[in-house]
Amino acid sequence: MKTIMVCLFAFVLAVTVVSAQEHSANGIRKVHVEATVNAPISEAWRVWTTSRGAEEFFAQKANIQLGIGGPYEIQFDPNDERSGTKGLKILSYLPDEMISFQWNAPPEYPEVRNAGMWVVVQMRPEGPDRTHVAVTHLGWKEGTEWDAAYVHFVSGWGDLMKRLERRFTEGPIDWNKERMMYQEVKK
């Protein structure tokens, strides 16, 4: 019985921690999610900073060229270029620790789409084969459309972190089987 309890406790500790937070202590609105993945930091870094790596968990198609001003383009719907981040750039990075990039919103949020948001991804090792990843989406404003987009991204970034965790437990995402937000029926 003790062995079962210890195994259950270890499993609970290994499960991904995902949280969303609306405001920081200083009142800045943000979406913030975190997870600890079963991968060394070099692998976590690779999937966030290379096209091939991002295609393993982020979306079917990516164009990432690591360098300040390099593209950070994620194509969510391969049949609709508007569903992605075409033209957006890397803002900063510190190898194996942090990358920041411009971000936009889906076309159904035109006020938010090109309003100058950005994302910061931070990583730290949690031992030799585990990495803690924190994603913070910033640049939020107030308003009805902004509130709707915020709800969209709380869900979206949470889903992404679950895919990131699955990437390192089950292997690269099979995009023929994965259902993405753009495929959901809009209410």
Q: What are phi and psi of 8, to 5 degrees?
A: -65, -45
pLDDT computed for residue 187 by the predictor? 45
The per-residue pLDDT for range 42-75, each reduced to its tens digit, is: 999 999 999 999 999 999 999 999 999 999 999 9
Domain that holds residue 70: 16-172
For the record, the structure tokens of 33 come out as 């999610």
3-state helix, strand, coil in the chain (%, to 5): 35, 25, 40
Q: Is the pLDDT of residue 10 over 50?
A: no
Residue 123 and residue 41 in contact, taking contact as beta carbons nearer than 8 Å: yes
79 and 180 Cβ atoms separated by less than 8 Å = no
- pLDDT grade for 11, boundaries at 50, 70 and 90: very low
Per-residue pLDDT, 26:
64
Q: How many domains does the chain have?
A: 1
Whole-prediction pTM: 0.85
Q: How far is CA 100 from CA 4, 64, 132, in A?
A: 42, 12, 16
* Per-residue pLDDT tens over the stretch 91-117: 999 999 999 999 999 999 999 999 999
Q: Spell out the alpha helix ranges (H) of 69-122.
A: 110-113
Can you give the CATH number for the domain in which 68 is found?
A: 3.30.530.20
Residue 170, classified by CB atoms within 10 Å of its CB into exposed (0-12), middle (13-18) or buried (19+), is exposed
| Cα end-to-end span (Å), the chain | 48
Within-domain flag for 58: yes
Average pLDDT over every residue of 155-175? 96
Which pair of tokens denotes residue 170? 């089950």
Q: Confirm whether 183 is domain-assigned.
A: no
Q: What is the pLDDT of residue 79?
A: 83
pLDDT at 181: 61
Q: What is the mean pLDDT of residues 174-180?
A: 84
Please report whether residue 157 resides in a domain: yes
pLDDT-derived band at 89 (thresholds 50, 70, 90) equals: very high
The CA distance from 187 to 183, in Å, is 12
Residue 4 lies in a domain: no
Residue 187 lies in a domain: no
Structure tokens given for 42: 């070099």
| 9-18, 71-80, 158-167: least confidently modelled range | 9-18
* 117 within some domain: yes
> Is 121 inside a domain boundary?
yes
Could you tell me if 49 and 169 are in contact, meaning their C-beta atoms sit under 8 angstroms apart?
A: no
Residue 149 falls within a domain, yes or no?
yes
